[in-house]
């Protein structure tokens, strides 16, 4: 009887720890952040600490060229740039995410 109880406890323990690991694998807050700029649907609101040169670098790293004079307004760096043959308005939020309009 004691062996059955111990075996059942081990199965429950292993199943619960495996579930916890799979839940952490897709974490939205990873231990190592990917530094590449991401294009998202809407910019995050918050205080932006990027300098103008850093913002230009993020836009360039995101594949944008011919970046116009950019300015910071409401915590977002914004300006116009070319993406391929199309001119778009680009915005950079405090997280480093790029949004286009």
Hey, what are 15's tokens?
């199943």
Eight-class DSSP state of 39: B
Residues in the chain: 101
pTM above threshold 0.85: no
Q: Express each pLDDT in 2-54 by its tens digit.
A: 566 555 565 555 555 554 544 455 555 555 667 777 778 889 888 999 999 99
Q: Which residues contact 87 (CB under 8 A, 6 or more apart)?
A: 80, 81
Positive/negative CA dihedral, 69, 70, 71, 73:
positive
Contact 62, 54 (CB under 8 A): no
pLDDT at 35: 73
Q: Looking at the 3D structure of the chain, how many domains does it have?
A: 1
pLDDT at 40: 81
* Residue 67, domain extent: 2-100
């Amino acid at each position: 009887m004691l062996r059955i109880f111990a075996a059942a406890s081990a199965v429950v323990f292993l199943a619960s720890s495996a579930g916890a690991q799979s839940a952490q694998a897709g974490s939205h807050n990873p231990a190592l952040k990917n530094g590449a700029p991401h294009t998202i649907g809407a910019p995050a609101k918050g205080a932006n600490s990027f300098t103008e040169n850093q913002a230009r670098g993020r836009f360039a790293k995101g594949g944008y060229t011919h970046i116009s004079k950019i300015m910071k307004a409401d915590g977002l760096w914004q300006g116009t740039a070319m993406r391929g043959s199309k001119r778009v308005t680009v915005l950079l939020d405090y997280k480093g995410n790029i949004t286009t309009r």
